[in-house]
Amino acid sequence: MIDRRPSVVVRCLTASDVVATVDYARENGLGLAVRGGGHSVPGFGTIDDGVVADLSMMRAVSVDPGTRRARAEGGATWGDFNAATGEHGLATTGGIISTTGVAGLTLGGGIGYLARGFGLSLDNLISADLVTADGRQVVASATENADLFWAIRGGGGNFGVATSLEFQLHPVDQIYGGPMFYAAKDAGAVLRFFRDFIETAPEAFGGFPAWQIAPPLPFIPEDRHGETMIAFVACWAGPLDEGEAMLKPFHDVAEVVAEHV
Ligand SMILES: Cc1cc2nc3c(=O)[nH]c(=O)nc-3n(C[C@H](O)[C@H](O)[C@H](O)COP(=O)(O)OP(=O)(O)OC[C@H]3O[C@@H](n4cnc5c(N)ncnc54)[C@H](O)[C@@H]3O)c2cc1C
């Protein structure tokens, strides 16, 4: 999908490697792209004839269950993050796909299943360690370089390379949810129902409807594989024993052809 040819790809292992990469690009008049999880649809994680700072080997995540905080390196994915925080029954708003980068998603906003309860990913960002374009290592938080902290929360990778990001976590031990598939003819009923339901749904309920070509997965009847369907993906992060009742109206609104809840 993206066909760009950088001159140099630097596979950074440390923040010092990132500083050296930024300095090299600046001193040689080359453009710089930062690659985290590599999920930028327009391809902002790479560049023609410039330098790519590839952070995909900087993926460590540490968790402090006492303060309910986690720190993720700049190339960590949401899969890395959730695996580390989940061990402590903690989570924050992150991407719906495990291979999306924590940094790229957070610096652009960050919408996920937990957003109705805990806000966007960037609302849970406490601080970031950044390398700025002049090669300095700085901390951005509400109390240090507050203007930079304001800018990175929505400004994407334009204000510095995040070598690590610190997040507020919340108690989320288990969730009840998964995808439900309906025939395309039921799309109107499903979408109208969701529009009204979500207005008053508890904040622990997250989810989204999507047009989806039914994939060849075991829980979908074989004769429906490849069919365009309306799907709803639900995530209930409240008390587990309330999950089934919470999703019941999604079963009443139309026939569920297949589900993996
Ligand atoms: C399959 C898929 C699922 C998605 N799901 C969601 C979702 O659930 N919620 C949501 O909000 N968005 C979602 N997105 C959008 C995604 O959050 C953005 O495309 C995001 O920019 C991807 O970040 P990345 O690190 O994976 O990508 P990259 O291509 O590596 O980087 C994207 C941008 O972020 C910058 N960047 C990355 N890492 C750093 C860093 N350490 N420091 C500074 N800048 C950095 C890059 O320079 C680039 O401009 C999804 C995208 C895809 C393709």
- For 11-43, what is each residue's pLDDT tens digit? 999 999 999 999 999 999 999 999 999 999 999
Q: What is the pLDDT of residue 153?
A: 97
Domains with residue ranges and CATH for the chain: 8-54 (3.30.43.10), 61-171 (3.30.465.10), 176-259 (3.40.462.20)
Model ipTM?
Answer: 0.99
Ligand 1 neighbours, Cβ below 6 Å, are 33-41, 44-45, 55, 74, 95-97, 100-101, 103-105, 107-112, 156-157, 161-162
Beta bridge partners of 233: 179, 208
Amino acid 92 reads T
Q: Is the CB of residue 199 less than 8 Å from the CB of residue 166?
A: no
Task: Please provide the average confidence, as pLDDT, over all residues in the chain.
Answer: 97
Beta bridge partners of 229: 183, 212
From the CA of 130, give the closest atom in ligand 1: 42
User: CB-based contacts of 104: which residues, under 8 Å, 6+ apart?
Assistant: 36, 37, 39, 40, 45, 156, 157
Pocket probe mutation, ligand 1, options 105, 120, 121, 138, max atoms within 8 Å of Cβ: 105
pLDDT in tens, 101-144: 999 999 999 999 999 999 999 999 999 999 999 999 999 999 99
Q: Which run of H or of E encompasses 168?
A: strand 161-168
Q: What is the pLDDT of residue 204?
A: 97
User: CB-based contacts of 44: which residues, under 8 Å, 6+ apart?
Assistant: 33, 156, 157
The count of C-alpha atoms lying within 13 angstroms of the C-alpha of 203, restricted to the half-sphere facing its C-beta, is 7
Query: How far apart are the CA of 238 and the centre of ligand 1, in A?
Result: 28
User: CB-based contacts of 67: which residues, under 8 Å, 6+ apart?
Assistant: none
State the helix-helix crossing angle for 243-252 and 187-200, rounded to 10 degrees. 140
CA 29 to chain centre: 32
Give the closest residue to 235 by CA, choosing from 178, 170, 171. Answer: 178
Q: What is the pLDDT of residue 1?
A: 78
180-207: average pLDDT: 97
Distances (CA, A) of 100 to 38, 132, 170, 226, 261: 7, 23, 20, 25, 23
Q: What is the pLDDT of residue 168?
A: 98
Pocket probe mutation, ligand 1, options 40, 98, 122, max atoms within 8 Å of Cβ: 40
From the CA of 33, give the closest atom in ligand 1: 47
Q: What is the pLDDT of residue 2?
A: 87
63-73: burial string, b at 16+ Cβ within 10 Å, e else: beeeebbbbbb
CA 107 to chain centre: 10
